[in-house]
Amino acid sequence: MADDFLNIDLVFRNGLKDYEALPPEEVWYSVQASLSRKKTRTIRLLTIRAASVALITASAGTLMWFALSGLSEEISGKQAITLNQEQMPEGRFIPGNKQLSDNNVPPLSGVTFPGLPGEEKVQNVTNQATGQQTAAAPLAELKTENRSLTLLVMQPKPASGTGFIVEKNKGKEFLLNNPEPENRPQDSEKWKLGAAFLPAYYSKFSFGSNDAAKDYIKQENFAYSYSGGLSVAFNVSGRLSVQAGMVLNNMGQKVEGVISYSGFGKYSEAKSVSDFAIRTASGTINSVNKDIFFTDRSNISRVLTLYTADVFDPVKADLRYVGNSVIQNLKYLELPVSLHYKLIDRVVDISMSGGLSYNILVGNTSFIQSEGVKYIIGKTSGLSPVTFSSSLGLGMEYQMSPSMTLSVQPVFRYYLTPLGGITGSAIHPYSFGVMSGFFYNF
Amino acid sequence: MSDIKEIIKGCLEGSRRDQELLYRRHAPKLFGVCLQYSDNDEEARDILQEGFIKIFQNLQNYKHEGSFEGWMRRIVVNTALEKYRARHNLYRVDDIETINEPEAEPGNDDYAGVQADDLLYIIRNLPPKYRMVFNLYAIEGYSHKEISEMLSISEGTSKSNLSRARGILQKKVSIYTGLRRSVING
């Protein structure tokens, strides 16, 4: 018996030792496509890293530039000085845009100067234009009441500037730095916590390298999209902030060209496997709903089934027509990080933003719908569990109160990595939306 | 040998030509292995495709110390095992079977002359759990201990499955050779 067993082992071992069979050509194409995707992914990852480094470097550079340039314009008391026009003496001005400093002046106790004239005088002034240091006329005789006044900036008045003209002389107007709006958040309010909602219009850049993928893509369109979530922001400086958050994005894609009928359950003979599979550019939907019959509407073959038209006629079988499209609903948990820079820093700020987001697929459902009734049919296989997207926004923030901000921001988003896809297709969605939300400053 | 080293080097450098050369040279042999481990052609294609992707992805780990063909074959067999485990985990192979004698009675058949295509047909028609054990033991040369770890079954089950597989194969090969003889003898 053992010899017989050995014999049968040898029969198969020797008989199949050199067995060869030519695999179908499509296997190589799939291997090749997969290797290309990997290569592309590597390049894309490097690009993302390079872009991130560039963004961070640019942000840090901007921050540093503002920090350094701010030093020369800063008032050491860090408080805007507001003067009434009547308080300023006539005929006194500082020649040129020059900061004046007098560390001997005792600190001020109030925001406004209590009265003019006072006792302190500016000793010397350097004219920037000529570089000459001259004895300046007294800027003001100010009573400073225990408050340090080390800098007083005088600038030519801009056409639409606000502030106070302190001098008119030789055709030039000068004014003090604009006073800060009363309800600006204080420097101590570094953090913002908020909730935002973003309805968006989605479309996609699709790349199909084979005819089937191109045909599928033509008949697939995003139907709806909205997202909402929480975010927290840290003010790095007066203008620059870093924002991170957690957002749930819900989007639906409509797949046209698939006719569905209900009432098929009694004809289905399959016990555990799917009777129907619907091919889409982003993956294949394997129907788990035994009651729904699917067939192709157009000449584009999406539906894979044994119940082809020559085998089963849904009309003769008296099935009920449900619809001619399938909705793929995808939910992503997004973890965005973005940089926001205020272009205009007023009561209503105008700011621009840019960032990246790590998106995790948390919901994947496909369904058909008729007369308000939703029939769940299954999941789309072949989707990437994780994607990366980038965003660019330009919006406004309104300071409703010292602690509350309303933000409205049009946002453009682009998915750097594809949602998924069958061999030969890559779908990169992009969207336009308006994000609106409230932020609490603390 | 030096030729294959050049091709591997080219593949590692991302040369599409060398990748295709490697595939064209070895795919037929490896596809034969895939057919041996699969229920149908579609599954065999999937195994080959995934296997080759893994081969290219892990090429840098090949140390030029053993047969390159053997290294590739192990990857393909492991891919087939992964697919088998994924498919059969839901309804696990009966792990409490005891060793039984084979149902078939081995005769003094002369198995010479059985064509490879026929052997493949016979082996692919074995129940998957028997086929996997027979392939791993009789063709690849793994021990029952190794097979038990690979398939997450006991050694006893591995032996039992091998025994049953052999019995079925003997029976089918005997039928085949008997038919063949009767055809030849008129």
Residues B73, B128 share a domain: no
- Residue A59 or residue B58, greater confidence: B58
Helix axis angle for B144-151 and B155-184, nearest 10°, is: 100
- pLDDT, position A105: 39
Cβ of A12 within 8 Å of Cβ of B48? The answer is: no
Q: Which residues contact B108 (CB under 8 A, 6 or more apart)?
A: none
| B14/A16 Cβ within 8 A | no
d(CA B62, CA B22): 14
Same domain, A397 and A271: yes
Residue A236 lies in a domain: yes
pLDDT tens per residue across span A218-268: 788 888 888 899 989 998 887 888 999 999 999 888 898 888 988 888 777
Q: Is residue A73 part of a domain?
A: no
The pLDDT of residue B173: 86
Cβ separation B49–A31 shorter than 8 A: yes
Residue B106 near chain A (CB below 8 Å): yes
Contact yes or no for A23 and B120 at CB 8 A: no
Q: Which residue of chain B is at minimal alpha-carbon distance from A39?
A: B14
DSSP secondary structure, A76-121, as one string: TT-S--B--GGGSPTT---SSS-----TTSPPPSSSB---S--SB-
Model confidence band, residue B185 (pLDDT cutoffs 50, 70, 90): low
Task: Report pLDDT for A176.
Answer: 42
Determine which of A144-158, A383-397, B20-34, B104-118 has the lowest per-residue pLDDT on average.
A144-158
Residue B101 lies in a domain: no
* B105 domain-assigned: no
- B167 inside domain: yes
Contacts of A34 in chain B (CB under 8 A): 49, 53
pLDDT in tens, B42-72: 999 999 999 999 999 999 888 888 889 999 9
**Residue B141, in any domain of the structure:** yes
Instruction: With a cut of 70, say whether residue B90 has pLDDT above it.
Output: no
> Does B81 share its domain with B120?
no
Q: What number is the average pLDDT over the span B144-168?
A: 92
How would you class B133 by CB atoms within 10 Å of its CB: exposed for 0-12, middle for 13-18, buried for 19 or more?
buried
DSSP A56-68: HHHHHHHHHHHHH
- Percent of chain A topping pLDDT 90: 12
- Asked whether residue A201 falls in the same domain as residue A312, the answer is yes
Distance from the B132 Cα atom to the nearest Cα atom in chain A, whole angstroms: 14
pLDDT exceeds cutoff 80 at B183: no
pLDDT tens digit sequence for A98-143: 333 444 434 333 333 444 444 343 344 444 444 444 443 344 434 4
Give me the amino acid identity at B5.
Answer: K
Residues of B in contact with A7 (CB under 8 A): 111
- The number of C-beta contacts closer than 8 angstroms across A and B is 94
Nearest CA in chain A to B140: A13
> Does B121 contact chain A (CB < 8 Å)?
no
Amino acid at A340: H
> What is the arithmetic mean of pLDDT over B94-107?
41
Domain assignment of residue B33, given as a range: 2-88
User: Measured between CB atoms, does B116 come within 8 Å of chain A?
Assistant: yes
- Domain co-membership, A118 together with A200: no
Domain boundary among A124, A149, A179: A179
**What is the helix (H) or strand (E) element at residue A204, kind and residue range?**
strand A191-208
B124 and B82 within one domain = no
| Chain-chain contact of B28 with A8 (C-beta, under 8 angstroms) | no
Q: How confident is the model at residue A315 (pLDDT cuts 50, 70, 90)?
A: confident
Do A155 and A198 reside in the same domain of the chain? no
Q: Among B23, B47, B49, B123, which would you mutate to test the A interface (most chain A Cβ atoms within 10 Å of its Cβ)?
A: B49
Together in a domain, B64 and B20: yes
pLDDT at A342 over 80: yes
Global pTM value? 0.44
In a domain, A66, yes or no: no
Residue of A3, A6, A10, A11 for testing the chain B interface, max B β-carbons within 10 Å: A11
A174 strand-pairing partners: A156, A167
Cα separation, A103 vs A244, in Å, equals 42
Does B32 contact A21 at a Cβ distance shorter than 8 Å? yes
ipTM value: 0.84
* Contact yes or no for B166 and A23 at CB 8 A: no
Q: Name the pLDDT band for B34 (thresholds 50, 70, 90).
A: very high
Q: Residue A356: its pLDDT value, please?
A: 93
Is residue A412 exposed (0-12), middle (13-18) or buried (19+ Cβ within 10 Å)? middle
- Which member of B23, B57, B123 has the closest CB to residue A12? B123
Separation of alpha carbons B117 and B130, rounded Å: 19
A377 and A407 in contact (C-beta within 8 Å)?
no
- The structure tokens listed for A353 are 């933003």
CATH number of the CATH domain containing B146: 1.10.10.10
CATH number at residue A207: 2.40.160.20
Angle in degrees, 0-180, between the axes of helices A25-71 and B16-37, rounded to the nearest 10: 130
| B residues 63-102 lying closer than 8 A (beta carbon) to A | none
Q: Kindly report, residue by residue over A68-107, the tens digit of the pLDDT.
A: 554 444 433 333 343 444 444 443 433 443 333 444 434 3
User: Structurally, how many domains does chain A consist of?
Assistant: 2
Cα–Cα dist A341/A242, whole Å: 9
Q: Which residue has the higher pLDDT, A93 or A57?
A: A57
Q: Are residues B137 and B72 in the same domain?
A: no
Flag if A35 and B173 touch (Cβ within 8 Å): no
In a domain, B103, yes or no: no
Range of the domain at A157: 79-179
| Alpha carbon A66 to chain centroid, angstroms | 25
Q: Which residues in chain A touch residue B87, judged by CB atoms under 8 angstroms apart? A: none
Q: Write phi, then psi, for B10 (nearest 5 degrees).
A: -60, -40
CB–CB contact B28 A9 (8 Å): no
* Separation CA A180–CA B7 (nearest Å): 70
Q: Which of A8, A26, A38 sits opposite B169 (nearest CB)?
A: A8
Interface of B with A in 125-184 (CB under 8 A): 134, 137-139, 166, 169-170, 173
The phi, psi pair for A337, rounded to 5°, reads -130, 130
pLDDT-based confidence at A7, cuts 50/70/90?
confident
Q: Which of A179, A200, A232 is the last residue of a domain?
A: A179
**Cα atoms found within 13 Å of the Cα of residue A172, Cβ hemisphere only:** 13
Identify any residues that bridge with A156 across adjacent strands, giving them in sequence order: A174
Q: Which one of B119, B134, B136 makes the best mutation probe of the A interface by having the most chain A beta carbons within 10 Å?
A: B119
A418 located within any domain: yes
Q: Is B15 on the interface with A (CB under 8 A)?
A: no
For residues A89 and A172, membership in a common domain is answered with: yes
Residue A106 and residue A206 in one domain: no
Which residue did the predictor score with more confidence, B162 or B177? Answer: B162
Asked whether residue B100 is domain-assigned, the answer is no
Chain A residue numbers with beta carbons less than 8 Å from the beta carbon of B34 are 23
Write the pLDDT tens digit of every residue in A173-202: 444 444 444 444 444 568 889 888 888 887
Identify the pLDDT of residue B133: 94
Q: Which helix (H) or strand (E) holds A409?
A: strand A404-415
Last residue within a domain, chosen from A160, A179, A198: A179
Q: Give the tens place of pLDDT for each residue, A395-421.
A: 888 888 878 888 898 999 898 888 876
Is A194 exposed, middle or buried (CB count within 10 Å of its CB: 0-12, 13-18, 19+)? buried
Regarding whether A141 and A201 lie in a shared domain, the answer is no
Domain count, chain B: 2
Residue of A5, A27, A31 with shortest CB distance to B166: A5
Give the pLDDT score at B75.
94
Amino acid at site A229: G
**Are A399 and A256 in the same domain?**
yes
Whether A306 is covered by a domain: the verdict is yes
pLDDT greater at residue B23 or residue A68:
B23
Cβ pair A8:B49 closer than 8 A: no
Residue B168: closest CA among chain A residues belongs to which residue? A8
- The pLDDT assigned to A123 comes to 40
Residues of A with CB under 8 A from a CB of B: 1, 4-5, 7-9, 11-13, 15-16, 18-24, 26-28, 30-32, 34-35, 38-39
Residue A84: left (phi > 0), alpha (psi -120 to 50), or beta?
Answer: beta
Determine the residue among A20, A38, A273 to mutate to test chain B binding: the one whose Cβ has the most chain B Cβ atoms within 10 Å.
Answer: A20
How crowded is the C-beta side of A182, counted as CA atoms within 13 Å? Answer: 1
Which residue of chain B is at minimal alpha-carbon distance from A13? B139
Contact criterion met (CB < 8 Å) for A8 and B48? no
Q: Please report whether residue B109 resides in a domain.
A: no
Cβ neighbors of A358 (< 8 A, separation 6 or more) are A334, A335, A336, A386, A388
Residue to substitute from B15, B111, B144, interface A, most A β-carbons within 10 A: B111
Asked if A324 and A396 sit in the same domain, the reply is yes
Q: Within this chain, do residues A266 and A412 fall inside the same structural domain, yes or no?
A: yes
> Which amino acid is located at A126 in the chain?
T
pLDDT digits 0-9 by tens, A8-49: 888 898 888 889 999 988 888 888 888 877 666 666 666 666
| % of chain B with per-residue pLDDT over 70 | 81
- For residue B124, pLDDT beyond 80: yes
Shared-domain flag, residues A343 and A260: yes
Residues facing A227 on adjacent strands:
A198, A249
CA distance A322 to chain B (A): 33
CATH number of the domain residue B62 falls in: 1.10.1740.10
Residues of B in contact with A1 (CB under 8 A): 106
Write down the pLDDT at residue A432.
Answer: 87
Are residues A281 and A144 part of one domain? no
Q: Write the residue in A1, A13, A20 that is nearest to B106 by C-beta.
A: A1
